[in-house]
Structure 1
Amino acid sequence: MKTTPAPETDNRPAADPRGASHTHREILQQPRLWTEMVTRLTAERPALDTFLAPLLADPRLRIVLTGAGTSAYAGQVARTALAAATGRTVEALATTDIVADPTACFEERTRPTLLVSFARSGGSPESTAATELADQLLDHCAHLVITCNDRGALAVRHGERANSYVLLTPAEAEDQGFAMTSSLTCMLLAALHALGGDRVRGLDACPAAAAALLSEGLPDQVTALTRVAHQRFVYLGSGALKALAGESALKLLELTGGAVTAIADSSLGFRHGPKAFLDDRTGVVVYLSNDPYTRRYDLDIFHELTEALPAGHVVAVTGRPEGLPEAATWLVPGMADADDAALALPAVLYAQLLALDASLACGVTPDNPFPDGEVNRVVQGVTIHPFTER
């Protein structure tokens, strides 16, 4: 697949924000890394197709996208687009759900399955445990491991196995900051390209769209919102963009060390109770779908909340600005015809920079928002218990 390259600039200011040298750099480097990711995929395409083609040829194939935390959201964003592109059953199941209740996740023992594992470090205990449980409970399970760390336990375990393929991102995508930014988007891009290719609309435009966002005053837009709504946020979206809303809320919680409260929901689901979260200090970001039908529901909640909250507290992130007030529109340029999974790639930059700005405003150090170790970059404290089939 030909990809429009990002402009030859990393858009960095002269100095990184205090305590955010890793996080700031890792957000801004994404357009360049996406182009590198596509170049890597093009080189690996023959070997990747040799591995995937026999699996995808089976109409009974079940594809399970898995990861924990942000990595789980990667699978949720990609699911619908990959189901349409492959014509196969695609599900997104968190490794934390697989490990806790494996029989509920792998009920059909004889059904051929491709387990796609997303993992920044590959060192989380659930990452390897999920693949082991899949092998234990399924007669025919292949593994596509998408990771940023060639030395991680997951990559090492699957590197030489005949039924596994390890797909590595550029090394720089293994974020050194606390939160997943480059790692999320490079792994998501890799999955969409590897399994969907040209059938996922808009992937080729993502690097240029993200670079344009970073050069067109995006930080100023973000700062304007965090200054009027600095205590609590709501992210809303539908389908793939609901998953993006969940990742956006998680990023804000992580980078502010929990100092700013954030929730996420679907555009329709928000009215069913979670709307009680709103007050006049709340900022709202609504991700608008490119699907004409789904978009109607996103617009309905956007207009409803715009009328209910003070001016400047509600914004729409969209590839299509038609019918929206300019002051409340955060445009993702060049993505008007993209599938929502592709739209999510440049759109997430808004959420990442908002979380970074809110973190700095709270006096938190974004690269390490939990200096006492209450929450860790690679999860700790998990005991994997042996599983016996019942």
Structure 2
Amino acid sequence: MTLLPPFSAAQWQALGGAHTAQEIAQQPAVWRELARQLRALPASRLAALQTLLEDHRTQVILTGAGTSSYIGELAADTLNTAVPAQVRAIATTSLLSHPALYVEPGRPLLLVSFARSGNSPESQAVVELVRKLAPGARFLHITCNAQGRLAAAGAGRDDTHTFVLPAASCDQGFAMTSSFTAMLLAALSLLGPDPLDVAARRIDTLAALAARWLDEQAASWHDIGHTPVSRIVYLGSGALEGLAREAALKVLELSAGLILAVPHTPLGFRHGPKSMLNQHTLVVLFHSQDPHARRYEDDLLQELRRDRVAGAVLALDGAALGAPAGLSDAWLAVAYAVFAQTLALHQSVRLGLPPDNPFPDGTVNRVVQGVTVYDYAA
């Protein structure tokens, strides 16, 4: 069992964080298994999807709830520039309540659903709603749970392709970690323009990079995670804006809301949100690999460090940490995510919470509960 240092397996168990610590640390291994899956996937399995992606009339909706929705936000713009189809990210929580704003019945439609368990109420409800509103729509389910309701409902259907990720990606801890990064890599691979063997090699490269970061940066990340803070700001631009939202959610989840976490863009941060800074605030910037974007990011970093209002300002720079040149932000985001997950885990421990279940009273659950799905009359 591989867990995050500096604690042993027994110590993580006593802290109530063994699942989460393992699921963060295992990600390079999970990604390598995903790469093997992609190499073994027959090209014929994706022929229908490729036909849709190559049609400029096709509307591709990337959907999920919570962390799963941020997968779509991270991938959408990168995919949209790479394929003729129109790709956008819309959360199930928006699709379910306002379908008429997003579903265009007269156009070819591919609904891509991301789901860790596949048992969230919105997951299957959105599929059935889209099937009703857009006859002829096709569906791609990217899920970590072969036994989930989403996977079961798509089995044997001609309009649905289900891609089940390695079993280890179905996190048992409260927070999505392995599931988030594995589903993001699967989406970029299955929906992108590159052959699957090219995508698989890129995933292997990222696995090696993340494994090295986990080894070399573990002590530093532990110290940052145990720094007393009451607020964390995550900044990211382009695809990394979606990662900033996911990173902030990890802090809120694993701190049980005791730490205020806010995501924003570097340029947008000056327009009001900067007022939240104080000496108990940690600011984390995910550096873009785009030279144009980095000029704006560097300006803000210099400003924040000059102002000395925030308690600490940290920039995570893939290039400085050895990321290969030419790797886009959407792909590099999985390695950055490992840092954000580790930081949230250590802050949870610092606060004396059990990271595997920071809400033992059941007010917030691993699989969302309490959602009533209502019939929709077009």
Which of the five TM-score ranges fits, normalised by the shorter chain? over 0.9
Q: Does the 8 Å contact 1:10/1:32 carry over to 2?
A: no
Question: What SS class does the counterpart of residue 262 from structure 1 fall into?
Answer: strand
**TM-score under structure 2 normalisation?**
0.93
Summarize the Cα distance change of 1:266–1:45 in structure 2 as closer, same or farther, 3 Å threshold. farther
Tell me the residue number matched to 1:96: 93
Question: What SS class does the counterpart of residue 143 from structure 1 fall into?
Answer: strand
Q: Does the 8 Å contact 1:240/1:340 carry over to 2?
A: yes
TM alignment of 1:29-68, pairs within 5 A: 29-68=26-65
Q: CA deviation at 1:141?
A: 1.0
Matched letter for residue 20 of structure 2: T
Q: CA deviation at 1:260?
A: 1.2
The farther-off stretch of 222-231 and 92-101 is 222-231
Tell me the residue number matched to 1:380: 369
Matched letter for residue 104 of structure 1: L
Deviation string, structure 1 residues 131-165 (Cα, Å, up to 9, x no partner)? 11111221331100000111111111111110110
Q: Does the 8 Å contact 1:150/1:168 carry over to 2?
A: yes
TM alignment of 1:105-120, pairs within 5 A: 105-106=102-103, 108-120=104-116
Q: CA deviation at 1:197?
A: 5.4
Deviation string, structure 1 residues 258-312 (Cα, Å, up to 9, x no partner)? 1111111111111111111110110000011111112222222222112223687
- Does 2:268 align with 1:279? no
Matched letter for residue 153 of structure 1: R
Deviation string, structure 1 residues 108-151 (Cα, Å, up to 9, x no partner)? 21110111100000111111111111112213311000001111
The farther-off stretch of 197-206 and 11-20 is 197-206
Tell me the residue number matched to 1:74: 71
Question: What SS class does the counterpart of residue 302 from structure 1 fall into?
Answer: helix
- Does 2:348 align with 1:349? no
Tell me the residue number matched to 1:126: 122
2:139 to 139, 143, 147: 143
1:191 to 187, 190, 196: 187
Question: What SS class does the counterpart of residue 138 from structure 2 fall into?
Answer: strand
Q: Which runs of 5+ in 2 are unaligned?
A: none
Q: Does the 8 Å contact 1:228/1:312 carry over to 2?
A: no
Taking the aligned partners of 1:320 and 1:304, their CA distance within structure 2 comes to: 22
Matched letter for residue 342 of structure 1: W
Matched letter for residue 155 of structure 1: A
Question: What SS class does the counterpart of residue 35 from structure 1 fall into?
Answer: helix
After superposition, the CA RMSD in angstroms is 1.8
How many positions carry a matched residue from both structures? 369
Q: Does the 8 Å contact 2:281/2:311 carry over to 1?
A: no
Q: Does the 8 Å contact 1:229/1:282 carry over to 2?
A: no
Deviation string, structure 1 residues 179-235 (Cα, Å, up to 9, x no partner)? 00000011111111111153879545211111011110x232223334444211000
Tell me the residue number matched to 1:85: 82
**TM-score under structure 1 normalisation?**
0.90
Tell me the residue number matched to 2:205: 205
Q: Does the 8 Å contact 1:64/1:92 carry over to 2?
A: yes
Deviation string, structure 1 residues 27-73 (Cα, Å, up to 9, x no partner)? 00000000101111221232432332322232211111000000000
Q: Does the 8 Å contact 2:286/2:316 carry over to 1?
A: yes
Q: Which runs of 5+ in 1 are unaligned?
A: 1-8, 322-330
1:159 to 155, 159, 164: 155
The farther-off stretch of 290-299 and 237-246 is 290-299
Taking the aligned partners of 1:167 and 1:19, their CA distance within structure 2 comes to: 31
Summarize the Cα distance change of 1:34–1:142 in structure 2 as closer, same or farther, 3 Å threshold. same
Tell me the residue number matched to 2:264: 265
Q: Does the 8 Å contact 1:225/1:312 carry over to 2?
A: no
Matched letter for residue 27 of structure 2: Q
Summarize the Cα distance change of 1:380–1:125 in structure 2 as closer, same or farther, 3 Å threshold. same
Matched letter for residue 371 of structure 1: P
Question: What SS class does the counterpart of residue 42 from structure 2 fall into?
Answer: helix
Q: Does the 8 Å contact 2:53/2:191 carry over to 1?
A: no
Q: Does the 8 Å contact 2:32/2:203 carry over to 1?
A: no
Q: Does the 8 Å contact 1:110/1:140 carry over to 2?
A: no
Taking the aligned partners of 2:204 and 2:329, their CA distance within structure 1 comes to: 14
Identity %: 46
Taking the aligned partners of 2:252 and 2:243, their CA distance within structure 1 comes to: 14
Question: What SS class does the counterpart of residue 209 from structure 1 fall into?
Answer: helix
Question: What SS class does the counterpart of residue 198 from structure 1 fall into?
Answer: coil
Taking the aligned partners of 2:60 and 2:42, their CA distance within structure 1 comes to: 19
Q: Does the 8 Å contact 1:48/1:194 carry over to 2?
A: no
Summarize the Cα distance change of 1:45–1:294 in structure 2 as closer, same or farther, 3 Å threshold. farther
